[in-house]
Amino acid sequence: MFGRLTWDAIPFNQPIPLITSLVVILALGGVALWITKIKAWPYLWHEYITSTDHKRLGIMYIALALLMLVRGFADAIMMRAQQSLAIGASQGYLPPEHYNQIFSAHGTIMIFFVAMPFVIGFMNFVVPLQLGVRDVAFPTMNNVSFWLTASGALLVNLSLFLGEFARTGWLAFPPLSEKAFSPGVGVDYYLVALQISGVGTVLTAVNFVTTILKTRAPGMSYLRMPVFCWTSLASCLIMLAAFPVLTVALAELMLDRYLGFHFFTNDGGGNSMLYMNLIWVWGHPEVYILVLPAFGIYSEVAATFSGKPLFGYRSMVFATMVICIVSYCVWLHHFFTMGAGGDINAVFGIASMVIGIPTGVKIYNWLFTMYGGRVRFNVPMYYLIGFMLTFVGGGLTGVLLAIPPVDFIVHNSLFLVAHFHHVIIGGVVFALMAGYTYWFPKAFGFTLDERLGKIVFWCWFIGFHLAFMPLYVLGFWGATRRMQHISDPSWAPWLNVAFVGAAIIGLGIVLTVVQLLYSIKTRDQRRDITGDPWDGRTLEWLTLSPPPHYNFAVLPDVHGEEAYWTRKQTAIKQDQLIDEPDYQPIEMPLSTPVGVICAFFATVCGFAIIWYIWWLAILGLIGAFAVFVWYAWRDEHEHIIPVEEVRANARERRRIRMEHLHELSQST
């Protein structure tokens, strides 16, 4: 009746997951009760959960990412603690079957449910505003994408309460991930969660490629788009082409596990190397999905906080698209040590280095953006400079790994672990923190506290270096990754320094929460009155903060690059705004519960598949299909915002802008 789900699935005899589960259930319950008490459910339902507004969805994506960051970091600090304790005769506090779940969950959550949602959240919030349009091409599908991602996150976290998670690492290589060697539910949780959220990701890609290529403000040709939109385009093109390969790899593994197929098994002619190839054909482009929008954020920050246009715009665009394409040509560098031979190894090694060329060009272009500028050291600028100092080191170790004879002695070691954290934290996380600070006022109408923001930066910068530089040394000393127990006591001091570094990062995360709460409490001191707190250069700064549901009363006419900057400078010089346009009523898409309900059925179906509850899985599928048909049957797709409301909002914006026109400039 309930498949293989029994009371044994609850971790009664494992204190850590048991206590964590209780704490989480209590916390969630507490939050739910509080929301009920302040009667906020209708507001949440209408304004967020069923919203098709790209700005709201962007906020929800980032909220999900920050929540998952806490979970992923908890896994990280547990691992660091274990490696500091389990040295020599001691086995530490985490037995292998536990530790192995933790490092698998850490990687899976950080990549799929922190980095991806954070990046996609920014794309959601920023791209339509920067393109000067009202929303993405498919707003309802956007809502569905978010809820499918959330469904995947939910399933992964459910494994803490019921059953176990995969014990295979975040990519679940066979043969270890096959039924014969991983008979439990862990790998199934992993596979099902990623398949569900993977659908959401492909839909996001379709949405944003269409939006960027087919819906932009009048006059905005390709070479007048902000660089963040170019990098989002490149990232979504990669998503579109890479995620189907992941789907196939995971589906084939599921078929092996559920139906006894022989894609990757040790018998029947299975070929585990096929999985290695498929997963890395997805896996390498995946990291560019994350880093390209990060580069886009840096471009925006560099230009805004230098008071100068981005240096070498066309070069940056070209470099972005080159990275987009070459990212598909390097995947074998993840397994140079599998014996492909000198020719193949060399070709992929050289291709992997070639990708470093456009990346290097970008660094220099950011440098020359600052050159001749008036640099303002707000928090986002800290992250840009921190990134430029950190990422180049990660890039150096990356090129080292791209040389097969070097990889032969450092593959899978802590050197590798240090490298990819170097580029992900220095490259992606710093950008996410910069973007979070940069666009926060646009989303919520007030800026975050600067002083706390700078302290958070230092926690990340110092903490990262302390946590990972020792790992480079240990990698040289012959330390491999994923070790639950360390036999060599002389490694202890380095691991302890790494633990301290992780703790400092943890402090940074805690202070991020503190900064948010404090900033909300004192928000009246830092209200963003004009909508342009940073003397911005792109169209999102044209609106008030937060923008109205429909973004712009009238879509801006774009003449030349940096449409907003030119318009602003003209207005300041002439001491007047452009002529008042002719206002029209605006049609906006309706909000809809189809996303959250569909995701609910997807979660039910997914859970049922994991636990072999076949009747429930079929019910879940039928439910999801029924919801789609019900949604497709609706006759009203849009509601109309009356022209009086549009005119009133617009006139208010013009009044405020006129009043504060000369305060907008910060470079002079």
Partner 1 sequence: MTTASEAPAVGLTHQGSEDTGLGHRGPASKSIVVPYGFWLFILSDMVLFSALFASYATLVHATDGGPATNQLFDRELVAVETLALLSSSFVCGLAMIAAKRKNMQLTQVWLLLTGLTGLVFLGIELFEFGKMIGEGAGPQRSAFLSSFFTLVGCHGAHVTAGLLWLGTMMAQIWAKGFRQDIIRRLLCFSVFWHALDIIWVAIFTIVYLIGTLP
Partner 2 sequence: MNSTECFERFERLERGLIHAAVLVCLPLVASGCARGILDPVGPVAAAEKTILINSTAIMLAIIVPTMIATVAVAWWFRRGNRKADYRPDWEYSGAIELVVWAIPALTVMLLGGITWIGSHDLEPSKPLVSKIAPLKVDVVSLDWKWLFIYPDQGVATVNQLVVPAGTPVSFRLTSATVWNVFWVPQMGTMIYAMPRMTTRLNLQADRQGSFDGLSAHFSGDGFPGMQFKVQSMPADQFAMWAQGARGSGLKLDGAGYAELEKPSSYVKPMTYGSVAPNLFDAIVANKVPPNPVPLPLHNPPAPPAGA
Which residues are marked as active site? Answer: 61, 71, 75, 79, 103, 124, 135, 142, 145, 149, 201, 204, 211, 284, 286, 288, 299, 315, 359, 362, 419-421
403 near partner 2, judged by CB under 8 A: yes
Output the CA torsion sign for 436, 439, 441, 442.
Answer: negative
Of residues 273 through 292, those in contact with partner 2 by CB under 8 A are 273
The CB-of-108 to partner 1 minimum distance in angstroms stands at 21
Whether the Cβ atoms of residue 309 and residue 561 lie closer than 8 Å to each other: yes
The CB-of-127 to partner 1 minimum distance in angstroms stands at 13
Of residues 164 through 223, those in contact with partner 2 by CB under 8 A are 167-169, 173-176, 180-181, 183
| Piece of 45-53, 293-301, 333-341, 433-441 that binds partner 2 (CB under 8 A) | 333-341
As a three-state string, the secondary structure of 184-237 is CCHHHHHHHHHHHHHHHHHHHHHHHHHHHHHCCCCCCCHHHCCHHHHHHHHHHH
Of 24, 274, 329, 340, which lies in the binding site for partner 1, with binding defined by CB under 8 A? 274
Closest CA to 648 of 550, 553, 581, 561: 553
* Nearest CB to partner 2, comparing residues 214 and 314: 314
The CB-of-537 to partner 1 minimum distance in angstroms stands at 19
Of residues 492 through 551, those in contact with partner 1 by CB under 8 A are 550
Q: Which residues of 501-538 are buried (b: 16+ CB within 10 A; e: fewer)?
A: bbbbbbbbbebbeebbeebeeebeeeebebbbbbbbbb
The CB-of-180 to partner 2 minimum distance in angstroms stands at 6
- Residues 86, 95: Cα–Cα separation, whole Å: 10
- Residues 611, 603: Cα–Cα separation, whole Å: 12
For residue 509, the partner it binds in partner 2, partner 1, none, with Cβ less than 5 to 8 A by kind, is none
533 near partner 2, judged by CB under 8 A: no
> What is each CA distance from 333 to 269, 283, 324, 424, in whole angstroms?
26, 11, 17, 18
**In one letter, which amino acid is 291?**
V
> How many other C-beta atoms are found inside a 10 Å radius of the C-beta of residue 4?
14
Contacts of 269 (CB under 8 A, 6+ apart): 262
Whether the Cβ atoms of residue 208 and residue 126 lie closer than 8 Å to each other: no
- At 486, is the secondary structure helix, strand, or coil? strand
- Residues 244, 281: Cα–Cα separation, whole Å: 10
Contacts of 302 (CB under 8 A, 6+ apart): 310, 366, 369, 370, 384
| Piece of 67-75, 120-128, 278-286, 486-494 that binds partner 2 (CB under 8 A) | 486-494
Whether the Cβ atoms of residue 381 and residue 301 lie closer than 8 Å to each other: yes
234 near partner 1, judged by CB under 8 A: no
* Nearest CB to partner 1, comparing residues 85 and 137: 137
399 near partner 2, judged by CB under 8 A: yes
For residue 24, the partner it binds in partner 1, partner 2, none, with Cβ less than 5 to 8 A by kind, is none
Q: Phi, psi (5° rounding) for residue 548?
A: -65, 165
> 641 has which bridge partners?
586
CA 511 to chain centre: 20
- Residues 624, 618: Cα–Cα separation, whole Å: 10
Contacts of 140 (CB under 8 A, 6+ apart): 52, 589, 592, 594, 595, 631
Of residues 364 through 393, those in contact with partner 2 by CB under 8 A are 364-365, 367-378, 381, 385, 388-389, 392-393
621 near partner 1, judged by CB under 8 A: no
The CB-of-590 to partner 1 minimum distance in angstroms stands at 12
Whether the Cβ atoms of residue 477 and residue 415 lie closer than 8 Å to each other: no
471 near partner 2, judged by CB under 8 A: no
153 near partner 1, judged by CB under 8 A: no
**In one letter, which amino acid is 191?**
L
| Piece of 3-11, 352-360, 539-547, 581-589 that binds partner 1 (CB under 8 A) | 581-589
* Nearest CB to partner 1, comparing residues 10 and 624: 624
- Residues 129, 431: Cα–Cα separation, whole Å: 19
Task: Please calculate the CA angle 382-387-391 and round it to the nearest 5 degrees.
Answer: 165
Of 114, 120, 137, 617, which lies in the binding site for partner 1, with binding defined by CB under 8 A? 137
Q: Write each residue from 369 to 408 as x if it is in contact with partner 1 (CB under 8 A), else as -, in one continuous string.
A: ----------------------------------------
The CB-of-326 to partner 1 minimum distance in angstroms stands at 17
Of 8, 25, 43, 97, which lies in the binding site for partner 2, with binding defined by CB under 8 A? 97
For residue 629, the partner it binds in partner 1, partner 2, none, with Cβ less than 5 to 8 A by kind, is partner 1
Of residues 629 through 658, those in contact with partner 1 by CB under 8 A are 629, 632-633, 635, 637-638
Q: Write each residue from 430 to 459 as x if it is in contact with partner 2 (CB under 8 A), else as -, in one continuous string.
A: ------------------------x-----
213 near partner 1, judged by CB under 8 A: yes
For residue 632, the partner it binds in partner 1, partner 2, none, with Cβ less than 5 to 8 A by kind, is partner 1
Of residues 76 through 135, those in contact with partner 1 by CB under 8 A are 133-135
| Piece of 262-270, 297-305, 438-446, 471-479 that binds partner 1 (CB under 8 A) | 262-270
260 near partner 2, judged by CB under 8 A: no
- At 374, is the secondary structure helix, strand, or coil? coil
- Residues 359, 344: Cα–Cα separation, whole Å: 24
214 near partner 1, judged by CB under 8 A: yes
662 near partner 2, judged by CB under 8 A: no
Size of residue set near partner 1 by CB under 8 A: 68
- Residues 518, 138: Cα–Cα separation, whole Å: 36
88 near partner 2, judged by CB under 8 A: yes
Cis amide linkage into residue 546, ω under 30° from 0: yes
184 near partner 1, judged by CB under 8 A: no
Of residues 27 through 86, those in contact with partner 2 by CB under 8 A are none
Whether the Cβ atoms of residue 656 and residue 544 lie closer than 8 Å to each other: yes
258 near partner 1, judged by CB under 8 A: no
> What is each CA distance from 526 to 227, 512, 518, 522, in whole angstroms?
28, 17, 12, 8
263 near partner 1, judged by CB under 8 A: yes
Indicate the burial class of 573 (C-beta count within 10 angstroms; 0-12, 13-18, 19 or more).
exposed
Give contact residues for partner 1 (rule: CB under 8 A).
133-139, 202, 205-207, 209-210, 213-222, 224, 240-241, 243-245, 247-249, 251-252, 255-256, 259-263, 265, 267-271, 274, 278, 281, 550, 554-555, 581, 583-589, 625, 629, 632-633, 635, 637-638
